[in-house]
């Protein structure tokens, strides 16, 4: 009966330099996880309102003037070795007297692919709706405002409007 040792197996055994190099190369190529980044619109209230009005007006004529606005976008992935996913959060304030125009502009658009579930930025933002207040919002789909079908628009009776959209 023959006994095979590492020496006799030579190039195909565990001591093979080729196998060690291959394993090291595979370990070096293992992803550390997707890159994550955050994009915000900063500045004074006037600067934020101007930037976000311009951004939202790319998709539709806004039904009223914005009084205040905040924006944060979270990106997972760098788009180089695969896709990136985005989650966008807008908090805008309009005059309560303008709410009927906002309701009318959003009335035909259903909420899809989110089931109207609460979502929040990974890092808490003082301007974002709380989960308790979210349950009191009237929800619509975000497509007319953001161009994205995933997410929701939540309107509070005091003129605060929260927009959440995401890609999949």
Q: Are 116 and 133 in contact (CB under 8 A)?
A: no
User: How far is 130 from 120, CA to CA, in rounded Å?
Assistant: 8
Angle (CA) 45-47-49 rounded to 5° is: 65
pTM of the model: 0.76
CB-based burial label for 123 (10 Å; 0-12, 13-18, 19+): exposed
For 61-108, the pLDDT digits (tens) are 999 999 999 999 999 876 666 677 899 999 999 999 999 999 999 877
**Whether residue 46 sits in one domain with residue 21:** no
User: How far is 146 from 152, CA to CA, in rounded Å?
Assistant: 10
How many domains are contained in the chain? Answer: 2
Mean pLDDT of 17-29: 48
**Whether residue 41 sits in one domain with residue 25:** no
For 107-140, the pLDDT digits (tens) are 777 777 666 899 999 999 999 999 999 999 999 9
Q: Which of 97, 88, 47 is nearest to 68 (CA)?
A: 47
**Whether residue 2 sits in one domain with residue 41:** no
Q: Extract the tokens encoding 153.
A: 């628009």
Domain that holds residue 11: 1-30
Q: Are 6 and 13 in contact (CB under 8 A)?
A: yes
**Whether residue 99 sits in one domain with residue 156:** yes
**Whether residue 119 sits in one domain with residue 69:** yes
Please give the backbone phi and psi of residue 140, each rounded to the nearest 5 degrees, phi first. Answer: -135, 170
**Whether residue 157 sits in one domain with residue 75:** yes
**Whether residue 42 sits in one domain with residue 18:** no
**Whether residue 125 sits in one domain with residue 90:** yes
Q: Which of 96, 94, 74 is nearest to 85 (CA)?
A: 74
Q: Are 106 and 143 in contact (CB under 8 A)?
A: no
Residue 23 reports pLDDT greater than 50 = no
**Whether residue 95 sits in one domain with residue 23:** no
**Whether residue 92 sits in one domain with residue 10:** no
């Amino acid at each position: 009966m023959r006994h095979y040792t590492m020496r006799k197996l030579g190039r195909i055994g565990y001591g093979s330099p080729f196998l060690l190099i291959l394993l090291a190369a595979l370990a070096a190529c293992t992803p550390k996880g997707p890159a994550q980044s955050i994009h915000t619109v900063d500045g004074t209230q006037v600067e934020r309102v101007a930037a976000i009005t311009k951004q939202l007006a790319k998709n539709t004529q806004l039904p009223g003037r914005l009084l205040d606005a905040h924006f944060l976008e979270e990106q997972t992935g760098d788009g180089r070795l695969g896709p990136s996913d985005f989650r966008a959060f807008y908090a805008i304030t309009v005059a309560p007297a303008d709410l009927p125009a906002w309701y009318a502009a959003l009335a035909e658009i259903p909420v899809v692919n989110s089931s109207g579930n609460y979502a929040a930025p990974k890092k808490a933002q003082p301007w974002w709706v709380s989960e308790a207040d979210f349950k009191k919002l009237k929800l619509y789909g975000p497509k007319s405002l953001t161009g994205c079908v995933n997410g929701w628009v939540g309107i509070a009776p005091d003129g605060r409007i929260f927009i959440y959209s995401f890609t999949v």
